Amino acid sequence: MASISELLNLKGQVSIVTGGATGIGLQMAKGLAEAGSNIVICSRRLDVCEQAVAEIKQLGVQALAVACDVTKADQIEAMKVAVLREFGRIDVLVNNAGRAWVAPPEDMPLERWQQVFDLNITAPFLCAQILGREFIKQGHGKIINIASVAGLVGRNPQAYNSVAYGASKGALVNFTRDLAVKWAQHNIQVNAICPGFFVTPINEKLYLKNKESIEREIPLKRTGGPDDLKGIVVVLASAASNFMTGAIIPVDGGAIAW
């Protein structure tokens, strides 16, 4: 029987966090590093990845920055090759990269709808497919999809008016469930975290404009903080969750509980 410290220990493992250079992606990458995992940060901008890697290395683990547009299969393949060359293994994939476009449904441009879906659901599929082949070969792996409470319920348009975001995150939720069923035979656990409102550089203006209405909908009366995703991502990346797959976990201050 393993102790809890052994179950949560990620020492020597390798975790890839897409869109991990800023915001909640960086928070989760640091949480995984604090649990001992080596980290790969990827996004389209190498300079911001390198800044994040410099911070993560201060936590005593190895880290690699990779420029990668996760909507492009060839770039994901190249990232996989670079990671295997550097570390020789991949244990965890956190599909965090995402985007939104705010507009009423009747005014949503088709081009923007497609861009949101490309990054929020097609990219996680491509990353899971390409990196999952390695997981199948090695007989284990953890995939953590970062969905949203917007993928579980309809949202108040005064505070959250992005139908493409909610629809794409809803697709990611069911992709998580179905992939979990398909790959259970390979000992690959696939789970999703559904964050509520976390203030990031991308949504800070929206938050400041709608602070009262946003916080009114959260029973804990605050938005997510700088440590609120660390624990759950470590649990899902670790042996502590070996009997969890297909789980959809809100981290939202109780927002969808009422």
CATH class of 4-251: alpha beta
Output phi, psi for 212, to 5 deg. -60, -50
Where are the domains positioned within the chain? 4-251
| Residue 213 confidence (pLDDT) | 86
| Residue 204 confidence (pLDDT) | 87
The answer to whether the beta carbons of residues 87 and 18 sit under 8 Å apart is no
| Residue 120 confidence (pLDDT) | 98
Q: Write the single-letter amino acid at 128.
A: A
| Residue 157 confidence (pLDDT) | 82
Q: Pairing mode, if any, of strands 141-146 and 188-195?
A: parallel
3-state secondary structure of 11: coil
Task: Name the residues annotated as catalytic.
Answer: 165
The secondary element (H helix, E strand) that includes residue 251 is strand 248-251
Q: What is the pLDDT along the chain (258 residues), one digit of tens a residue?
A: 999 999 999 999 999 999 999 999 999 999 999 999 999 999 999 999 999 999 999 999 999 999 999 999 999 999 999 999 999 999 999 999 999 998 999 999 999 999 999 999 999 999 999 999 999 999 999 999 999 999 999 988 877 889 999 999 999 999 999 999 999 999 999 999 999 999 987 788 888 988 988 999 999 999 999 999 999 999 999 999 999 999 999 999 999 998
